[in-house]
Structure 1
């Protein structure tokens, strides 16, 4: 790791704080002004949803490019073109940083995200969540039904099966939610591996704890997992299939090479 000068680190600290404020205010502006205006002008629900998701994607892309331009971080996305094949697909990724969702949503043609229920109370993002029609993880049976409807309509659902950001240096632990959704709906799973060196905006790392060098994200879009392969045997119960699929996802997500 190449350490940067104290001035560079101070600049990245200042710029990170400014962009945190910018991100929150941007969410408010989109919710209160732009999405409200779209709702008045565009009457077709499908077109409105498409325009809303495209606005979020382009806003995230602008946000990331500005972070890169001012030297806060850098990133590389490998295999993003594979996302064009993922209608009716579940996208599963590991979760090392607060920026993971922003990075993926900026390059996916469509991103129907599953978000924590607590975020619906966040004044800066709740309007965006509502306007985008994101699925709320309330832990109820209705979430599976909502996922099934969204996938059957050609949506692409992004989920982080860890449930929260991982802790650097510790092995990740997956919940079975992603496997249950895939087995219930019969959809395939696109694997995405995310790495960030040095770690940035981790679960235990506050925004103001700036790494000694500029972080670099690498997002690797990998092959699909055929969910039906885990239900092929006649003696496999749904619970056993979910455990097997979750173990397979765990193995795929901890691989740190660039093979697809």
Structure 2
């Protein structure tokens, strides 16, 4: 596919994902209406996400490298990731086994992927229920960790372009305080390549970096302020390093 333009690669990728999604959609609309054990749903979601990553690599030319995998603990953890695109949202469901993602409720409406999130089940934040969201999310996140699953949160709350800033949501501080689990920062630069919607994607390499965990038991406010500063610095370093290579 070396002779294809980036725009042509992007359109071909969209067709490939549509075809890849059809059998999963059929299973969701038939089998999963009567029988959908969460473990089976999560495996199906992970398989679909793995196909997405493979198609992005071979068709669009978006590859990825993982750094710091030694920082992933062997106990359930709270993974905290910056949010630049939907690439990392999908990729991390495949790369971190049995992850429970804290996501906006609107994500459930995404064909196939969103349906998989709904039945996995994942933890959803409802905009219209601000008064009860935090208590429920904390309760479900703690239950997830007790089950032996890890939790993934995007504390910026929405996509932030490379080089941008958005204050972390306070729910992360409450989760760290109550969960008693290590926090693993994840930074990446996917937003340099994977643009929103149907915009043409750019060939290149996404760096996905797992950083040193924050142990439980520290002062929550201080620990999460340090985490926010650290992640902003690290994600800026990834963007700067990528631009020096252009």
Q: Which residue matches 2:29?
A: 32
CA distance in 1, matches of 2:226, 2:31: 42
Q: Specify the alignment match of 2:10 in structure 1.
A: 13
Q: Which among 170, 182, 190 is matched to residue 184 of structure 2?
A: 190
Q: Kindly tell me: are residues 30 and 251 of structure 1, through their superposed partners in 2, closer, same or farther at Cα, counting changes over 3 Å? A: farther
Partner SS state of residue 155, structure 2: coil
Q: Distance in 2 between matches of 1:34 and 1:103?
A: 25
The alpha-carbon distance between structure 1 residues 11 and 123, as it changes in their structure 2 partners (threshold 3 A), is closer
Q: Name the CA distance, whole Å, in 2 between partners of 1:26 and 1:144.
A: 35
Report the Cα distance in structure 2 between the residues aligned to 1:55 and 1:158, rounded to whole angstroms: 18
TM-score, length of structure 1 as denominator length? 0.76
Please give the per-residue CA displacement for 1:30-49, whole angstroms capped at 9, x wherever unaligned: 4224544753xxxxxxxx32
Map Cα deviations across residues 35-89 of structure 1 (whole Å, 9 max, x no partner).
44753xxxxxxxx3223222222221122112211234111122446546142x1
| Partner-residue secondary structure (3-state), 1:223 | coil
Q: Which residue pairs with 1:97 in the alignment?
A: 85
Alignment of 1:30-109 (within 5 A): 30-33=27-30, 35-36=32-33, 38-39=35-36, 48-80=37-69, 82-83=71-72, 85-87=74-76, 89-109=77-97
Whole-angstrom distance in 1 between the partners of 2:116 and 2:197: 24
Question: Which whole-Å CA distance do the structure 1 matches of 2:182 and 2:227 have between them?
Answer: 12
- Whether 1:177 aligns to 2:174 is no
**132 and 196 in structure 1: CA distance in 2 versus 1, 3 angstrom threshold:** same
Give the conservation status (yes or no) of the 8 Å contact 1:57–1:106: yes
User: Matches of 1:76 and 1:198 in 2, distance apart?
Assistant: 15
Equivalent pair of 2:194/2:201 in contact (CA under 8 Å): yes
Q: 1:78 & 1:33 partners in 2: Cα distance?
A: 40
Q: Structure 2 matches for 1:110-125, cutoff 5 A? A: 110-125=98-113
* Structure in which a larger fraction of residues adopt helix: 2
Mark the CA change 1:11 to 1:86 in structure 2 (over 3 Å): closer, same or farther: farther
Q: Kindly state the Cα deviation for residue 207 of structure 1 after the two structures are TM-superposed.
A: 2.3
Partner of 2:241: none
CA distance in 1, matches of 2:114, 2:139: 22
- Residue equivalent to 2:227: 249
Structure 1 alignment gaps of length 5 or more: 40-47, 231-240
Provide the aligned length of Structure 1 versus Structure 2.
229
TM (normalized to structure 2)?
0.80
Q: Given the alignment, which residue of 132, 142, 147 partners 2:136? A: 142
Q: Where does structure 2 lack aligned partners over 5 or more consecutive residues?
A: 239-246
Task: Return the offset for 1:185.
Answer: 1.6
Change (3 A) 1:110 1:80: farther
> Which SS does the other structure have where 2:52 is aligned?
helix
Which residue in 2 is equivalent to 1:129? 117
1:27 and 1:82 map into 2 onto residues whose CA distance is 33
Q: Secondary structure at the match of 2:86?
A: coil
Larger mean CA deviation between 65-74 and 116-125 belongs to: 116-125
Q: Residue 11 and residue 90 in structure 1: after superposition, are their counterparts in 2 closer, same or farther (change >3 A)?
A: same
**RMSD after superposition:** 2.7
Q: CA deviation at 1:225?
A: 0.5
